[in-house]
A and B are shown apart, each in its own frame.
Chain A
Amino acid sequence: MANGGDSIQVDVSQPSIGDGALGAAGLAVDLVAARRGESPLVQAMRRLGKSTTALAGLVIVAILVLVAIFADVLAPDSPIASDQTQTFASPSADHPLGTDQLGRDMLSRVIHGARVSLAVGVSSVVFALFLGVPLGMIAGYYGGRLDSVIMRLMDLVLAFPVYLLAIILMIMFTPTAGPIGTIKVVAAIAIVRIPIYARLVRGSVLSIKEKEYIEACRALGVRDPSIFIHHVLPNCLAPIIVTTTLGIATAIIVEATLSFLGLGTQPPTPSWGWDLKANVAFIQANPWLSLFPGLAIFVTVLGFNLFGDGLRDALDPRLK
């Protein structure tokens, strides 16, 4: 039984913007590169460097990471200090994006919001990776009853509509503010996404384990953990990397959505989703307020999607 959570795997098979004419041409380039003695990794980096989409995405992501790291320096004001004399101020020199109903500087909130968004996006995916990849590897490599148990468990999670599960998990964890609250959001999103990696890796491992080099390893007496790390993992890395990048984009949207529903990051911690929701109530009188947090979410997700698309084309030219 499949559900919406699969869309990332589907994403992997989608071509990206401006691809197309490659294919035969891309193969010719590869042959030249191979003759030059370049490793597949160097070839992939070369292709990545040539992709405008990937570079555009990388620039957006890099800027956002810098904004998140240097938020304290970049933000003109505190994102949580309220100034009751300055509520709902229109954009001005003092407050370039205006202030909200508590008189908090919107620009500072949007800048600080990058922290929660990126932290949740990246760490939930890393979490899901660390649990999903080994599970998929074990299931695929050993097969049999272990495989059935692991994959049925994964199917159970996948049988749920993503948001229903994430929402109930958040209610179970009780949303709170601060770092603990952020960890809860990370956990909820990670749990929902573990099966995606488990399935992806299991599929790759099923074909890799039949390869002769794995048989050779076993004949040489290499132990299983070593086979996993040195021989199986590197050979299923490409789809993992692509799914991870695109997965960060999805995780950021899920975080924003949970916060929008009031179940994600809690105030006063600045979060784009929450700010958008809080300010929609005042959309008639102060239309700009809900615009900026939304734009921030959009640009961030776009950055990761562009980069992920470019990465997929670079890592797996056959998909073109």
Chain B
Amino acid sequence: MRLYLLKRLIQIVPTVVMITFVVFLMMQSIPGDPVVALLGDAYTEEDAVKIREAYGLDQPVLVQYFIWLGKLARGDWGISILTGRPVLQDVLVRLPVTLELIVLSMAVALLIAIPAAIIGALRQNTWADYTATSVAMIGVSIPEFFVGVLLLLAFSVGLHGVLPSSGWVYLPGTCPNMVCGVSFWGNMQHVLMPAIALGIGRAAILTRLLRASMLEVIRTEYVTTARAKGLSEGPVILKHAFKNALIPTVTVMGLQVGFLIGGAIVVETLFAMPGLGTFGIDAIIARDYQQVQGFALITALAFVIINLLVDITYTFLDPRIRYA
């Protein structure tokens, strides 16, 4: 297992290098020049040359990429051309916001999906099942930002605006500077709607999938055996059926990461949250090469690490799965 983990961790490197390299090439091919944008009206050829030299933008593209990679190996994520701040610092400030959003949205998804799928599968073709499957169908068809708008209409416009429509209050311990608002309740108020907006679609996909695998599993012989042994329904469903039905679900949860990152961009934009999603989209639009590289890097890392976690989860769900 330890050797396997080590191997997988080493495999992260080529994937991350590949993703950041392609993003780098794509960003370089975008028309327009960030130096022109930075200098604005004060643009002079001399200043432009100086800035290009300072940021290494006068080098060939490939050389620029390897300089970036070399610095990265030493823990330096580069410095943003437009803000002058170190990229890593910005990423670390914004990471907890997005992590909280994604973790809570997955919690929302599981809280809805697990009971809905189990009830749907156990009471197949009853009104409870039809309700669960119909709601799931609606859930997969509704884009995150529209769920967000509906929540805004309900809780920020209606109900005397009980929940704030935008902005952020940091969780204690994650505040990047002296001026930000810090409070647990304030944070919960701000994160609730975004987490639900992002979680609903995931809940729907997981419900459909988990219900299908539950239906398959409860017809297997080992479930019949468990019942024949005289086990009560609770342990049969939770220990014998549910745990085995979880395997394909965990796979899909891993596959959903790509969509979660996109969803985070959309939801953070809608609710004006200072997370990685808004950081990434702003950087891409402003063509801040260094920030975009930082965003691509953290995205690629999240991607491979979550896929690794998915593979490790298998070993807990099914002890027969072993990695040598």
Contact = CB atoms under 8 A, between A and B. Distances in A.
Interface in B11-46: 15, 18-19, 22-23, 26-27, 29-31
Interface in A153-179: 156, 159-164, 167-169, 171-172, 174
Contacts of B19: 159-160
B271 to A, nearest CB: 10
Nearest to A158: B258
A306 interface: yes
Interface string A278-308: 0010011001001100110110011001100
Contact of A257 (B22, B145, B156): B145
A1 B15 contact: yes
Interface centre among B146, B209, B260, by most chain A C-beta atoms within 10 angstroms, is B146
Contact of A261 (B142, B150, B265): B265
Interface in B99-158: 124-125, 129-130, 133-134, 136-138, 140-143, 145-146, 149-150, 152-153, 156-157
A287 B266 contact: no
A171 B285 contact: yes
Nearest to A162: B258
Interface stretch (A8-16, A32-40, A230-238): A8-16
B165 A13 contact: no
Contacts of A284: 156-157, 165
Contacts of A10: 209, 252, 255
A3 B304 CA distance: 10
Contacts of B15: 1, 159
Report, as a range, how many residues of chain A touch the other chain: 35 or more
B317 interface: no
Contact of B146 (A162, A169, A174, A294): A294
Contacts of A7: 205, 252, 255-256, 259
B18 A163 contact: no
Interface centre among B137, B215, B260, by most chain A C-beta atoms within 10 angstroms, is B137
A14 to B, nearest CB: 5
B250 to A, nearest CB: 12
Interface in B173-207: 205
A161 B152 contact: no
Contacts, number: 167
A21 B257 CA distance: 33
Contacts of A306: 137
Given A161-B303, A257-B145, A260-B145, A174 B31 contact: yes
Contacts of B143: 253, 256-257, 260, 294, 297-298, 301
A4 B302 CA distance: 13
A203 B27 CA distance: 33
B296 interface: yes
A298 B215 CA distance: 29
Given A17-B130, A171-B285, A162 B262 contact: yes
A110 interface: no
A159 B18 contact: yes
Contacts of A4: 255-262
Nearest to A263: B285
A133 B148 CA distance: 36
A171 B284 contact: yes
Given A4-B255, A174-B31, A287-B157, A161 B146 contact: no
Contacts of A14: 208-209, 212
A2 interface: yes
A103 B56 CA distance: 49
B307 interface: yes
B269 interface: yes
A283 B299 contact: no
Contact of A17 (B137, B157, B260): B137
A257 B18 CA distance: 26
Contacts of A160: 19, 22, 258
B308 to A, nearest CB: 11
B165 A161 contact: no
A164 B133 CA distance: 31
Given A156-B22, A283-B157, A164 B261 contact: yes
A257 B149 contact: no
- 6 closest residue pairs by CB, A with B: A4-B258, A163-B262, A294-B146, A161-B258, A4-B259, A3-B258
29 contacts: A4-B258, A7-B255, A15-B211, A18-B133, A20-B124, A20-B129, A159-B19, A161-B299, A162-B262, A163-B261, A164-B299, A168-B27, A171-B30, A171-B287, A172-B30, A257-B266, A261-B281, A276-B149, A277-B145, A280-B149, A280-B152, A280-B270, A283-B153, A283-B156, A283-B165, A284-B156, A290-B149, A298-B146, A301-B141
